[in-house]
Amino acid sequence: METEMLVLARQDVEQKGFLDLDLDPTLDLFSEIERLKKEKNAILLAHYYQEPDIQDVADYIGDSLGLAQQAEKTDADMIVFAGVHFMAETAKILNPTKRVVIPDLKAGCSLSDSCPPPLFKKFKDQHPDHVVVSYINCSAGIKALSDVICTSSNAKFIVESFPKDQPIIFAPDKNLGGYINRTTGRNMLLWNGACMVHEIFSLEKITRLKVRHPNAKLIAHPECEEPILRIADYIGSTTGLLKFTKSDSSNEYIVATETGILHQMMKANPEKTFIPAPPDNSCACNDCPHMKRNTLEKLYLCMKYETPEITMEEDLRQRAKKPIERMLEISAKAGL
């Protein structure tokens, strides 16, 4: 229920920003977040790349497909999205009447940024016989220009839902697109985008690490570049990688994706060893700077003041919704 006090407090916070607020350091943020969830009938959805504290307080942790499916079926009044902007935006597209908040509105995505809608529209217009399959890591503007959306866990099914001779544009991730081309035998036209985190891994250092840890399996996200994927023992979405570590009999893994997922891997397999895949240079790390903009403090504040909120023009939302719904239908039919 919107009280006048909440509206005024929110306006004040929106003007000054969270940084100017004096947050009592003795506050137990975990129990405060639990209290706010009940008080506001809110659901807290978090991606695996969030910091461990946020993962521990979430109602649901998942990959992009799981998060979209949860967002679609929730009956909560408020969706608190601990992830990046395109994820919260997807939740809003599916839930126009609910308030969708995100701890930091600036939590973006380099992959999504690599595909600006006006440029992509020109590219698409040059290939009028192609259908467009877009990876969910893109803006609502790109989704609105797409025929169907996919995630890393359903991309193969989505692409294979089209006849073999159907020309396809795949955007924005050239690495995931290339991987799907190789596994399906298609020749999709790829937009030249990539994720800054998954492009950072060093083939040479991983090879050296494998020599030192001969029993370790390399598990990689399909956003990684082809040379890394070529030597990987298993390739999958974040949920796929986590499931693999639970069902596989090895005791050691080199993990080529963002480090946030290691928290769940270690929780599920306390007896196993997980080594983050080494990046190209020694001052870079495989933390996503966008995902890591969200903190437990900002999460608490965004729930308390119900801001920053995701908003969108209705016409854009309607156009972006169709390809997401198509993805959810195909995924449900495939049992994903």
Token look-up 């900002």 returns 298
| Mask for 139-158, x = binds ligand 13P (CB under 6 A) | ------------xx------
Closest CA to 67 of 239, 303, 292: 239
Q: 229 pairs with which residues across the strands?
A: none
**C-beta of residue 21 within 8 angstroms of C-beta of residue 58:** no
**C-beta of residue 49 within 8 angstroms of C-beta of residue 293:** no
N-term to C-term CA, the chain:
36
**Residue 196, binding choice from ligand SF4, ligand 13P, none, Cβ under 5 to 8 Å by partner class:** ligand SF4
Closest CA to 148 of 132, 130, 160: 132
**Residue 152, binding choice from ligand SF4, ligand 13P, none, Cβ under 5 to 8 Å by partner class:** ligand 13P
| Mask for 198-227, x = binds ligand 13P (CB under 6 A) | -----------------------x-x----
137 vs 139, beta carbon nearer ligand SF4? 137
**C-beta of residue 70 within 8 angstroms of C-beta of residue 47:** no
110 near ligand 13P, judged by CB under 6 A = no
223 vs 306, beta carbon nearer ligand 13P? 223
Cα dist from 98 to 38, 51, 174, 228, whole Å: 16, 25, 34, 41
What is the rounded distance in angstroms from the CA atom of residue 149 to the CA atom of residue 142? 10
Q: How far is the CB of 314 from ligand 13P (least distance, A)?
A: 26
For CA atoms 93, 142, 291, 188, give the dihedral sign. positive
50 near ligand 13P, judged by CB under 6 A = no
Q: What is the CA radius of gyration of the chain?
A: 20
238 near ligand 13P, judged by CB under 6 A = yes
Residue 19 C-beta-side C-alpha neighbours within 13 Å:
2
Q: How far is the CB of 333 from ligand 13P (least distance, A)?
A: 19
Q: How far is the CB of 212 from ligand SF4 (least distance, A)?
A: 27
Residues found near ligand SF4 in the complex (CB under 6 A): 49, 84, 109-111, 137, 195-197, 258, 288, 290-291
50 vs 181, beta carbon nearer ligand SF4? 50
260 vs 323, beta carbon nearer ligand SF4? 260
137 near ligand 13P, judged by CB under 6 A = yes
**Residue 237, binding choice from ligand SF4, ligand 13P, none, Cβ under 5 to 8 Å by partner class:** ligand 13P
For CA atoms 328, 314, 82, 137, give the dihedral sign. positive
Q: How far is the CB of 86 from ligand SF4 (least distance, A)?
A: 8
Cβ neighbour number for residue 315 with a 10 Å cutoff: 9
**Residue 209, binding choice from ligand 13P, ligand SF4, none, Cβ under 5 to 8 Å by partner class:** none
210 vs 293, beta carbon nearer ligand SF4? 293
181 near ligand 13P, judged by CB under 6 A = no
Cα dist from 159 to 81, 154, 167, 172, whole Å: 28, 9, 11, 14
> Which parts of this chain interact with ligand 13P (CB under 6 A)?
63-64, 137, 151-152, 195, 221, 223, 237-238
